[in-house]
């Protein structure tokens, strides 16, 4: 790593720091204040120390929501990443098909998130939904995402994959298009198979964009709120209650500001750790490509 002449250029980010101070740091400090107090209303609060943290860290429903969240993010990534790469590989390389594919694929990304939830509620309804009624009547399988946890999970996963795989496709496609033709010519001369081309040319060249895709997809799926809130509301039972849904239930539903604030801080620290790890991974990928 080369030595920087000085770090004074960093002061140019000061305006951003001031804006972030108002939009994020002051609210965050407020949350820290709330997390150590029992609050009934403005000016009516009692200092309780670490009581809310003890309560939240020992809360079984929070543990369940956390594991559910990791399971959801893990499954989503396991399906979305290979699927996105596969579709990107299958997309046309030139001609009018490129624009047609790109526009069609990008459509799910343009729909507001709560509208996506509503679309999927109707789409999967067992009585009138194209998907729900189709499965129930044509295949004879009882499918009802409002009553059966597994069906709710399948619906949520399908929705998430339909909604966000396009992002992976677009990123992977951009990575593929950036590979110079000379690599493919060399592969052709060597008589490389399609798999060898993928393994030694396409995959290494896509590493940068795929790491970004992985980072974005993990964070988005880990913080998911609007779609499951609209689609299942966390049910049936608690089977699709993810961290954000449980947090809103505590902080706004029950108006338990103290426990809600403690929960927020735990959530925040988990997200911070993953962001940092992904940031480090991204940096390493960037350096690897330079070298």
What number of chain residues touch another protein (CB under 8 A)? Answer: 32
Do 135 and 141 form a contact (C-beta atoms < 8 A)?
Answer: yes
> Can you tell me which of 50, 104, 137, 199 binds another protein, judged by CB under 8 A?
50
State the minimum distance, in angstroms, from the CB of residue 4 to another protein.
6
Q: Tally Cβ neighbours within 10 Å of residue 101.
A: 17
Q: What's the longest Cα–Cα distance across the chain?
A: 78
Is 60 a binding residue for another protein by CB under 8 A? The answer is no
- From 47-55, 185-193, 224-232, 241-249, span contacting another protein (CB under 8 A): 47-55
State the minimum distance, in angstroms, from the CB of residue 64 to another protein.
15
Nearest to 195 by CA among 101, 86, 79: 86
Cα-based angle 133, 135, 140 (whole degrees, multiple of 5): 105
**Phi/psi of residue 45, each to 5°?**
-145, 155
Site map (CB under 8 A) of another protein, residues 227-266, x = contact? ---------------------------------------x
In three-state secondary structure terms, 29 is: helix
| Residue (59 or 80) nearer to another protein, CB | 59
Is 43 a binding residue for another protein by CB under 8 A? The answer is yes
Q: Which of residues 65-104 bind another protein (CB under 8 A)?
A: none
Is 285 a binding residue for another protein by CB under 8 A? The answer is no
Is 282 a binding residue for another protein by CB under 8 A? The answer is no
Is 4 a binding residue for another protein by CB under 8 A? The answer is yes
Q: How many CA within 13 A on the CB side of residue 136?
A: 16
Is 41 a binding residue for another protein by CB under 8 A? The answer is no
| Residue count (the chain) | 291
For 59-118, the DSSP string reads -HHHHHHHHHHHHHHHHHHHHHHHHHHHHHHHS-SSSHHHHHHHHHHHHHHHS-HHHHHH
Contacts by residues 192-199 (CB-CB < 8 Å, ≥ 24 positions apart): 198/89
Do 76 and 217 form a contact (C-beta atoms < 8 A)?
Answer: yes
In three-state secondary structure terms, 6 is: coil
| Residue (10 or 103) nearer to another protein, CB | 10
- From 41-49, 157-165, 174-182, 209-217, span contacting another protein (CB under 8 A): 41-49
> Can you tell me which of 15, 58, 180, 291 binds another protein, judged by CB under 8 A?
58
State the minimum distance, in angstroms, from the CB of residue 71 to another protein.
21
Is 291 a binding residue for another protein by CB under 8 A? The answer is no
> Can you tell me which of 95, 189, 269, 290 binds another protein, judged by CB under 8 A?
269
The contact set with another protein (CB under 8 A) reads 1, 3-4, 6-8, 10-11, 26, 29-30, 32-34, 36-37, 39, 42-43, 45, 47, 50, 53-54, 57-58, 266, 269, 272-273, 276, 280
């Amino acid at each position: 790593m080369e030595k920087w002449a000085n770090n004074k250029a960093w002061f140019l980010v000061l305006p951003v720091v001031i804006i972030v101070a108002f939009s994020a740091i002051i609210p965050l400090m407020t949350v820290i204040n709330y997390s150590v107090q029992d609050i009934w209303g403005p000016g009516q609060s009692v200092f309780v120390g670490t009581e809310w943290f003890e309560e939240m860290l020992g809360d079984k429903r929070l543990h369940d929501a956390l594991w559910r969240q990791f399971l959801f993010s893990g499954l989503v990534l396991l399906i979305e990443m290979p699927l996105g790469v596969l579709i990107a590989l299958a997309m046309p390389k030139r001609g009018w098909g490129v624009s047609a594919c790109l526009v069609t694929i990008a459509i799910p990304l343009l729909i507001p998130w709560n509208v996506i939830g509503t679309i999927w509620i109707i789409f999967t309804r067992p009585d009138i939904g194209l998907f729900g009624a189709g499965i129930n009547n044509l295949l004879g399988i009882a499918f009802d995402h409002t009553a059966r946890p597994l069906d709710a999970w399948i619906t949520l996963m399908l929705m998430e994959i339909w909604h966000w795989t396009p992002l992976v496709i677009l990123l992977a496609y951009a990575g593929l298009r950036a590979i110079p033709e000379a690599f493919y010519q060399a592969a052709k001369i060597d008589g490389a198979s399609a798999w060898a081309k993928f393994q030694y040319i396409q995959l290494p060249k896509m590493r940068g964009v795929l790491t970004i895709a992985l980072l974005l997809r993990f964070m988005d799926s880990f913080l998911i709120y609007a779609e499951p809130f609209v689609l299942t509301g966390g049910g049936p039972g608690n089977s699709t209650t993810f961290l954000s849904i449980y947090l809103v239930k505590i902080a706004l539903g029950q108006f338990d500001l103290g426990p809600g604030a403690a929960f927020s801080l735990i959530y925040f620290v988990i997200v911070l750790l993953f962001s940092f790890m992904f940031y480090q991974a991204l940096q390493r990928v960037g350096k690897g490509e330079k070298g």
